[in-house]
Structure 1
Amino acid sequence: MNQSKRKQILQRLRDDNPHPTTELNYSSPFELLIAVILSAQATDVGVNKATDKLFPVANTPEAILALGVDGLKEYIKTIGLFNAKAENVIKTCHILVNQHGSAVPESREALEALPGVGRKTANVVLNTAFGWPTIAVDTHIFRVSNRTGLAPGKNVLEVENKLLKVVPAEFKVDVHHWLILHGRYVCVARKPRCGACLIEDLCEFRDKTET
């Protein structure tokens, strides 16, 4: 795909949604961090149902530590892998209190040192909480980038690096939200809704559908 076509795709996505953001509910960097940790192999809807009850009760590292592992599990037990996630959240809260003054660090290295936080989670927090031009490649972004031809790659790191290379600076802060939402609602896995896609004519996917 040439750069002119890439820019047209991103311009259309921006025109359609000028101020995209995550579908996870949060009101602070800490709430976002916890929500993203809980969202691994879970839906945003499922995480929101749990955090909508958890955060009014405990939305600081100290408050979650006061719940303890068992207390936290009661709030997140509807989420997949909740046992491991509860352990990771408690360990993360200890580190935040003891090493970062209870604040979420604005540092990739420090974020990736937290239990339950990998590169993707760190990218989401840096982008959404702090406005960094990072791109968190999940299954949706990986699929859309390869299917459309926007930034093909064999694995998530290849796609991330390709996107960082080819996406113009003016789009970098928001591109990961546009691509996630596009993959979640239009360019879905089994049968993409090509007939309802605003970039269909620019997309290089060969097996387009009419729906």
Structure 2
Amino acid sequence: MNRQKRTAIFHRLKTANPAPRTELCFRTPFELLIAVILSAQATDRSVNKATERLFAVADTPGAMWALGEPRLKEYIQTIGLFNTKARNIIECCRILLERHQGLVPNNRHDLEALPGVGRKTANVVLNTAFGQPTLAVDTHILRVANRTGLARGHTPRQVEDKLTRWIPKEYLQDAHHWLILHGRYVCTARKPRCAACVIYDLCEFEDKAAYARN
């Protein structure tokens, strides 16, 4: 896929959704960090349901730390891997309080040093909370990038590096949200909705015509 086609793809995605946003509910960088940690192997809807109650009683590292691991589990027990996530979140709060004055760091090195925070989580926080042009590759973006031909790769890091290098700079800030939403609602895993796709003619998916007829 050449630069001209990539530019046209993102122009159309922007036209269809000029101001894309994460579907996780948050008010502060800390709330976003916690929500993203909880979202691993869970739906945004299930996370939002849990954090609505959780953030009402603990919306800062100090309050979360004071809540403690056992009580935290009560708020997030409907979310997968909640035991591990609770342990990571409490330890994360301790580090934020002891090393960062209770603030979420705005750099990759310090973010990835936090328990439960890998490259993907750090990219989401850097992009959404701090406005940095990072791109977090989840299963949706991995699928969309490979299927459409935007950037083919076997691992999230391979796809991330290619997308970051190839996406025109004017679209890079919002590219994560456009691609994840496209993968979640249009370019779905089992039955992509090719007939409703705004980039149908630009996509390089070999079987798109068959799905467009269904």
- Give the corresponding residue for 2:16: 16
The answer on 1:139 being equivalent to 2:139 is: yes
Deviation beyond 4 Å, 4+ runs, structure 1:
none
Question: What is the number of equivalent residue pairs in this alignment?
Answer: 211
- The 5 A counterparts of 1:113-192 are 113-192=113-192
The equivalent of 1:205 in structure 2 is 205
Measure, in 2, the Cα distance between the counterparts of 1:155 and 1:193: 24
* 2-structure distance, mates of 1:133, 1:21: 14
Whole-angstrom CA distance in 2 between matches of 1:43 and 1:62: 26
> Structure 1: which amino acid aligns with 2:8?
Q
Provide the secondary structure at the position in 2 that maps to 1:183. Answer: helix
Normalized against structure 1, the TM-score is what? 0.99
Deviation at 1:66, TM superposition (A): 1.1
- Distance in 2 (CA, whole Å) between partners of 1:98 and 1:10 is 42
The two structures have a TM-score, normalised by structure 2, of 0.98
Uncovered stretches (5+) of structure 1, i.e. residues with no partner = none
Name the aligned partner's letter for residue 161 of structure 1: D
Between the aligned partners of 1:166 and 1:70, the Cα distance in structure 2 is 46
Quick one: which amino acid aligns to residue 176 of structure 1? H
Uncovered stretches (5+) of structure 2, i.e. residues with no partner: none
**2:73 alignment partner in structure 1:** 73
User: Higher helix fraction: Structure 1 or Structure 2?
Assistant: 2
Instruction: Name the % identity.
Output: 66
Letter in 2 for 1:193: R
Residue matched to 1:50: 50
Alignment of 1:101-116 (within 5 A): 101-116=101-116
Q: C-alpha distance in 2, partners of 1:206/1:172?
A: 26
RMSD of aligned C-alpha atoms? 0.6
Q: Which amino acid aligns with 1:170?
A: E
SS in 2 for 1:173: helix
The aligned counterpart of 2:4 is 4
1:137 deviates by 0.2
Alignment-mate amino acid for residue 171 of structure 1 = Y
Q: CA deviation at 1:154?
A: 1.5
Structure-1 separation of matches of 2:193 and 2:17: 18
Once the two structures are superposed, residues 87-131 of structure 1 have per-residue CA deviations (whole angstroms, 9 ceiling, x without a partner) of: 000000000000000000011000000000000000000000000
AA aligned to 1:174 is D
Classify the secondary structure of the residue corresponding to 2:91. helix
Distance in 2 separating the partners of 1:172 and 1:192: 24
- Superposed CA deviations along residues 156-181 of structure 1, whole A, max 9, x for unmatched, are 11100000110011001000000000
Q: Distance in 2 between matches of 1:34 and 1:122?
A: 11
Q: How many angstroms apart in 1 are the aligned matches of 2:162 and 2:201?
A: 22
1:21 Cα offset (Å) = 1.2
* Amino acid aligned to 2:202: L
The DSSP-based 3-state class of the residue aligned with 1:46 is helix
Question: Do residues 87 (structure 1) and 87 (structure 2) align?
Answer: yes
Look up the SS of the partner of 1:35 in the other structure.
helix
